[in-house]
């Protein structure tokens, strides 16, 4: 009898991980497609700019290519697995609250009273991560700008044939 009870539980155990895998796959595919479209549109917008736009030091080739790479990846990170996690956690917590209210309503009310503190903690964490990400993006942009300028200068030195005197 005990074995038949375990056998009835087995399909439920395999059902949830397979749905989670399918959900993560679909959302990952969606975010990759969205990121690709965003990169293409950003690149097309760069090609439509006037020449004066590129004269600005903050719009150098290195800065723009770094911005193209990092900002699109930031959008991918925001729309990919994080969305899947929010959907899963929201669904799980909703089911847990329903079960808690059915089992013991007073304990469920205590759990509901804690939700605003959890949300406020999440918002504070999001602000901290966003502030750190903006600072890192500026550093990546500066390093990309420097790398592009050094590659340009290496080409100039090589084309002039003065490599031995510079090195």
pLDDT at 166 over 80: no
Q: List pLDDT tens digits, range 126-158.
A: 787 776 666 776 777 677 777 777 766 666 666
pLDDT at 8 over 60: no
User: Angle between the 2-47 and 61-79 helix axes, to the nearest 10 degrees?
Assistant: 150
Residue in 86, 70, 72 with CA at minimum distance from that of residue 140: 70
How far is residue 142 CA from its own chain's centroid?
21
pTM, rounded to two decimals: 0.54
């Amino acid at each position: 009898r005990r074995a038949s009870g375990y056998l009835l539980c087995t399909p439920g155990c395999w059902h949830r991980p397979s749905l989670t895998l399918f959900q993560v796959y679909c959302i990952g595919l969606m975010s990759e497609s969205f990121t690709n479209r965003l990169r293409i549109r950003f690149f097309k917008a760069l090609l439509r700019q006037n020449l004066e736009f590129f004269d600005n030091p903050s719009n150098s080739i290195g800065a723009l290519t770094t911005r193209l790479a990092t900002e699109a990846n930031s959008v991918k990170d925001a729309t990919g697995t994080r969305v899947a996690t929010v959907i899963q956690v929201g669904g799980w917590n909703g089911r847990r609250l329903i079960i808690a209210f059915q089992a013991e309503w007073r304990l469920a009310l205590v759990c509901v009273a804690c939700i605003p503190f959890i949300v406020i903690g999440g918002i504070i964490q999001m602000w901290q991560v966003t502030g750190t990400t903006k600072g890192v993006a500026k550093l990546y942009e500066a390093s990309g700008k420097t790398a592009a300028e050094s590659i340009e200068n290496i080409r100039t030195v090589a084309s002039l044939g003065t490599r031995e005197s510079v090195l």
